[in-house]
C-alpha cells in the first residue's frame, strides 16, 4: 500500500524507526497517513528530533500497533494521532 505524508512533514527516520513504520504499513494493508516525523513542535527531549519517533493517523487500534512493533516501542494514542517511538529503555 501507499504511505502518505501530511503536507509539511519533513525529516528522515533512523533505520529502526523506518522498519517499524514499514511493519505497520505491511500489517495494515491499506494506505497509511504519517502526520509527523522530525518536524513540528514536540516536548523537549522528544525522540522525534532524532528520528526515532513518528505519528500516524489512528487507523488501527493502539494495542494492534504495539503488538506489531514489539516491546521496545512506546505507542501512545493522542486522540488525533498515534505516537510511536523506539525507546528500548
What are the pLDDT digits (tens) for 62-75? 999 999 999 999 99
Cell of 37: 516525523
pLDDT at residue 89 in the model? 78
Report helix angle 62-69 to 15-28, nearest 10: 130
What are the residues facing 53 on neighbouring strands? 85
| DSSP assignment letter at 84 | E
pLDDT at residue 30 in the model? 84
Residue 30: strand, helix, or coil = coil
The vertex-73 CA angle with 77 and 23, nearest 5°, equals 90
| DSSP assignment letter at 41 | -
The vertex-37 CA angle with 62 and 69, nearest 5°, equals 35
**What does the pLDDT look like over 9-64, one tens digit per residue?**
888 899 999 999 999 999 988 889 999 998 877 888 889 889 999 999 988 899 99
How far is CA 63 from its chain centroid? 14
Residue 82 pLDDT greater than 90, yes or no:
yes
pLDDT at residue 75 in the model? 96
Domains, the chain, ordered by start: 3-86 (3.30.1380.10)
Report the percent of the chain where pLDDT is more than 70. 100
pLDDT at residue 10 in the model? 81
Amino acid at each position: 500500500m501507499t504511505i502518505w505524508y501530511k503536507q509539511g512533514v519533513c525529516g528522515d527516520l533512523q533505520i529502526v524507526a523506518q522498519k517499524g513504520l514499514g511493519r505497520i504499513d505491511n500489517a495494515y494493508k491499506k494506505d497509511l497517513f504519517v502526520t509527523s516525523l522530525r518536524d513540528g513542535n514536540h516536548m523537549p527531549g522528544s525522540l522525534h528530533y532524532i528520528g526515532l519517533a513518528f505519528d500516524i493517523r489512528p487507523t488501527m487500534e493502539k494495542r494492534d500497533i504495539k503488538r506489531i512493533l514489539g516491546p521496545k516501542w512506546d505507542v501512545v494514542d493522542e486522540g488525533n494521532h498515534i505516537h510511536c517511538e523506539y525507546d528500548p529503555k
